[in-house]
């Protein structure tokens, strides 16, 4: 994977999705890695095809990487991106109230503050990987089936541009630390420092008919969720994790 000291940031006013725009730019031979940000997204998306409400005032940022690691290591980038987001939030908001919910959300006081989406495509004879972050800052999405919170409720002096710059810098630093998956254990340990406390009740939906309830125990050496149930510790490779009152 090629690496630049300071990847370019492409700024846009309105796009369907910063992730989708990053893929388009790469297909048009924009040199990776690079970042894309937009004031608003008209078709922002989350995991499993869900809509991510994206009004003006919040941060929407995507990074495209080309051939960042072997295919079996790519899912680890979600943890790299989560740790980098925590780095940026702590540095910008001067608070340590943030918790990571497996696999991709930031929670504050039981409400969702931010999420990230990892997508991969084969294009331009390369494995293109896009990591997208969405952070509620001055606007809190409405009419959701869960509680949401904005950074304006945590820090009145927070600056979106500062958060954007901090996040880009933190992600590139953590990416180097991760070292194409050779140093995932260090990233895993950092992720666990900000994870929801062990014993937090969780419900996991693996499919429409598959549902598990238990408490958060940890994540294993590969990043899979360890869910403690009354009968066993179950290893979850993929699924939607739901907190009481939080999707």
CATH code at 136? Answer: 3.30.930.10
Task: Check whether residue 137 and residue 95 sit in a common domain.
Answer: yes
What residue numbers bound the domain in which 95 lies? 9-193
Number of domains the chain contains: 2
- At residue 88, φ and ψ (nearest 5 deg) are -70, -40
Looking at beta carbons, which pairs linking 95-101 to residues 24 or more positions away fall under 8 Å?
A: 95/154, 95/155, 97/154, 98/194, 99/194, 99/195, 99/196, 99/197, 100/191, 100/194, 100/195, 100/196, 101/195, 101/196, 101/241, 101/243, 101/246
Cα torsion 135, 58, 243, 92: sign: positive
Q: What is the distance between the alpha carbons of residues 89 and 75, in angstroms, rounded to a whole number? A: 22
pLDDT tens over the chain, length 247 residues: 545 458 999 999 999 999 999 999 999 999 999 999 999 888 655 544 555 556 778 999 999 999 999 999 999 999 999 999 999 999 998 888 999 999 989 999 889 999 999 999 999 899 999 999 999 998 777 766 678 899 988 877 778 899 999 999 999 999 999 999 999 999 999 999 999 999 999 999 876 678 889 999 999 999 999 999 999 999 999 888 888 766 5
**142 plus 182 within the same structural domain:** yes
My answer on whether 222 and 138 are in the same domain is: no
Q: Give the number of other CB atoms < 10 A from CB of residue 184.
A: 22
pLDDT at 2: 46
* 236 and 116 both lie in a single domain: no
Flag whether 3 is in a domain: no
**Does 46 lie in the same domain as 157?**
yes
Measured between alpha carbons, how far is 122 from 114 in angstroms, rounded to an integer? 27
Which backbone phi and psi does 52 adopt, to 5 degrees? -110, 110
Predicted local confidence at residue 55, as pLDDT = 73
Q: Are residues 118 and 225 in the same domain?
A: no
In angstroms, what CA-CA distances link 7 with 18, 89, 92, 141, 162? 16, 20, 21, 30, 16
Please give the pLDDT value at position 48. Answer: 47
Cis before 214 (ω within 30): no
């Amino acid at each position: 994977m090629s690496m630049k000291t300071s990847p370019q940031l492409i700024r846009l006013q309105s796009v369907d999705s910063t992730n989708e725009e990053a893929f388009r730019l790469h297909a048009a031979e924009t040199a990776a890695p690079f970042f894309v940000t937009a004031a608003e997204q008209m078709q922002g998306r989350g995991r499993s095809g869900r809509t991510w409400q994206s009004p003006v005032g919040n941060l929407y940022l995507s990074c495209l990487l080309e051939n960042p690691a072997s295919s079996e290591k790519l899912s680890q980038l979600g943890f790299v991106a989560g740790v980098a987001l925590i780095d940026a939030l702590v540095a910008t908001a001067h608070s340590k109230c943030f918790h990571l919910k497996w696999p991709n959300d930031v929670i504050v006081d039981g409400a969702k503050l931010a999420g990230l989406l990892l997508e991969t495509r084969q294009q331009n004879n390369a494995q293109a990987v896009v990591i997208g972050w969405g952070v509620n800052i001055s606007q809190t999405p409405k009419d959701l089936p869960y509680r949401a919170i904005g950074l304006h409720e945590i820090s009145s002096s927070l600056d979106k541009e500062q958060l954007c710059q901090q996040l880009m810098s933190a992600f590139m630093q953590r990416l180097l630390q991760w070292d194409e998956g050779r140093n995932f254990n260090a990233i895993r340990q950092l992720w666990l420092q900000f994870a929801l406390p062990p014993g937090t009740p969780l419900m996991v939906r693996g499919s429409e008919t598959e549902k598990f309830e238990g408490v958060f125990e940890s994540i294993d050496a590969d990043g899979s969720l360890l869910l403690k149930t009354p009968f066993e510790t179950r290893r979850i490779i993929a699924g939607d994790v739901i907190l009481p009152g939080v999707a």
